[in-house]
Structure 1
């Protein structure tokens, strides 16, 4: 095993960091450190704020000084990939921006953050090309293979406000997807609990299981083709892979879904443009602006791959 030592560090708390619990702050700051270790070094007094011992529920205040001791952690080898920032210009995908939020139309195939063997994602991209931004965090996540609306917060107050709206189900999202088969007209809602299972290769998959978390998705038919259906989909909860797992469960998986799809059905589809991306797209979002309280409705146009594929369907 390969280990590395994180040296002693002093963190000064500014206005974008306040009101967080110290345990949550450290978990975000040091993602490679196990949660159990974080709680242990807090409990044993090795983490000091203003030279004093604190408890895990201590909330950070402006001007606080956090002293973090040397920590020995396992250094996992990552499969680093070289990113050409001239070829991937996500700045062209910005749908909306002000002093509080940055909303983009994320392309399929790009992760929202690094991890699981890759060192690049949307959040790393914008932190790299905007070094003067003091604060940039993901408000939510969408799958790597899913395209569409992704929101970043440019202030901690914006992040807190948006997360509160998510918890209170005030944010309305619409996805569109092309699924196999003719979707039944009377199937307008799937409410099945989803349980996350991790495999040895660190991949995860969601399964319908009574021990899982409550998951609810609404469906509306947009257009039916000879052997596929174009759907509007409205998730009421935000579980991992929720739409993909629910559509697969009822026998209408999304086209070209490598984890929840049907490879035999995918092969039967006439693919004139050789499209093999997941045909799932976050097309619109409706929420309250975290600063002025106004209602915002943002739409993300379909990319050329999906539009060309739909035009060739019969």
Structure 2
């Protein structure tokens, strides 16, 4: 268990933190970012470079990985007291699966998975606020803000590393439902266009199909046609940023409601029908348990807003 010694309660002071099993293996910069919530990253990196942050009385780099038993010196940074009100509101999310290793929740659309880029907090911060007794909660992967569905959070470092290894090696299956503009032709199709990240003039992140990009593989299976629209199952075989969205849009079938890669007039049309999100939902996970390797099959039904819009399309072809 991590131990913290605090000289005084009322003013910022030097802290000495002893590293336990759950912190072992983390980089020192990531450890500090979580410990010192609200402190700008630039301040923490400056403290590391200047030697104010030390491990076992020695200077370290931001890439240093902590070991069990290490003692970390944390300089006098203003941190919230244990009895201080939390700035992140705790939240309860629908739980699809939970055991001692991980928790899988059904994330709603419109909520980021973590804070940053203009978002003060996301799912992971709210889960930590709701479970202050949990020594370790970390995202195993990401979902876009407007994507709903299955999201895995590791409760142990060993589980997190196992999940990362599984995803890196292409293990498991992740399936999404996507409603796209257009009459999808093939019952099943493999999409392998390489994807490259780039920045717009305003500094916003985008992804495009480019020969210089990274390999990407999505398997598309037609589920149902709705006249000018099609419901698809998209299976991720790699996990590139915006992969499903860009593969579909670049093929002429943008996802309904996609504000980055879809047409504005389609988004406006569905908004008038009361549908104000992107129709992309992570509905099925088939993975080995990260600790026991037992097979897991987890599902999350389409949210009511998605079901309602499909019902509308069924009645108004």
TM-score w.r.t. length of structure 1: 0.83
Number of the residue aligned with 2:210: 209
Mapping of 1:239-278 within 5 angstroms? 239-267=240-268, 273-278=273-278
Number of the residue aligned with 1:144: 145
Assess, with a 3 A threshold, how the Cα gap between structure 1 residues 90 and 56 changes in structure 2: closer, same or farther. closer
How far apart are the structure 1 equivalents of 2:232 and 2:41?
Answer: 41
With 178-187 and 302-311 compared, the bigger mean Cα shift is at 178-187
How far apart are the structure 1 equivalents of 2:129 and 2:76?
Answer: 27
For the residue of structure 2 that corresponds to 1:158, the secondary structure is: helix
Assess, with a 3 A threshold, how the Cα gap between structure 1 residues 25 and 129 changes in structure 2: closer, same or farther. closer
From 54, 67, 73, the equivalent of 2:73 is 67
How far apart are the structure 1 equivalents of 2:47 and 2:89?
Answer: 39
Count of equivalent residues:
293
How far apart are the structure 2 equivalents of 1:281 and 1:59?
Answer: 35
How far apart are the structure 2 equivalents of 1:295 and 1:283?
Answer: 17
CA contact (8 A) 2:257 2:266 kept: no
How far apart are the structure 2 equivalents of 1:283 and 1:205?
Answer: 24
How far apart are the structure 2 equivalents of 1:58 and 1:260?
Answer: 39
Mapping of 1:125-144 within 5 angstroms? 125-144=126-145
In structure 2, stretches of 5+ residues that fail to align are 1-11, 78-86
Please give the per-residue CA displacement for 1:107-145, whole angstroms capped at 9, x wherever unaligned: 111111112222121111111111111111111110010
How far apart are the structure 2 equivalents of 1:147 and 1:118?
Answer: 17
CA contact (8 A) 2:19 2:66 kept: yes
How far apart are the structure 2 equivalents of 1:263 and 1:154?
Answer: 40
How far apart are the structure 1 equivalents of 2:58 and 2:88?
Answer: 43
Assess, with a 3 A threshold, how the Cα gap between structure 1 residues 193 and 165 changes in structure 2: closer, same or farther. same
Mapping of 1:1-314 within 5 angstroms? 8-22=14-28, 25-26=31-32, 32-34=40-42, 38=45, 45-54=51-60, 58-69=64-75, 90-91=92-93, 93-185=94-186, 188-199=189-200, 201-267=202-268, 273-313=273-313, 314=317
How far apart are the structure 2 equivalents of 1:132 and 1:264?
Answer: 47
With 182-191 and 6-15 compared, the bigger mean Cα shift is at 6-15
CA contact (8 A) 2:188 2:222 kept: no
How far apart are the structure 2 equivalents of 1:52 and 1:267?
Answer: 58
In structure 1, stretches of 5+ residues that fail to align are 1-5, 72-81
How far apart are the structure 2 equivalents of 1:61 and 1:248?
Answer: 45
Assess, with a 3 A threshold, how the Cα gap between structure 1 residues 187 and 32 changes in structure 2: closer, same or farther. farther
Q: CA deviation at 1:199?
A: 3.5
CA contact (8 A) 2:88 2:125 kept: no
CA contact (8 A) 2:195 2:240 kept: yes
Q: CA deviation at 1:236?
A: 1.1
What CA RMSD, in Å, does the superposition of the two structures yield over aligned residues? Answer: 2.8
How far apart are the structure 1 equivalents of 2:76 and 2:246?
Answer: 42
Q: CA deviation at 1:272?
A: 7.8
CA contact (8 A) 1:248 1:260 kept: yes
For the residue of structure 2 that corresponds to 1:293, the secondary structure is: coil
With 11-20 and 296-305 compared, the bigger mean Cα shift is at 11-20
Assess, with a 3 A threshold, how the Cα gap between structure 1 residues 28 and 247 changes in structure 2: closer, same or farther. farther
How far apart are the structure 1 equivalents of 2:312 and 2:62?
Answer: 57
TM-score w.r.t. length of structure 2: 0.82
How far apart are the structure 1 equivalents of 2:34 and 2:130?
Answer: 21
Assess, with a 3 A threshold, how the Cα gap between structure 1 residues 206 and 23 changes in structure 2: closer, same or farther. same
Assess, with a 3 A threshold, how the Cα gap between structure 1 residues 202 and 69 changes in structure 2: closer, same or farther. farther
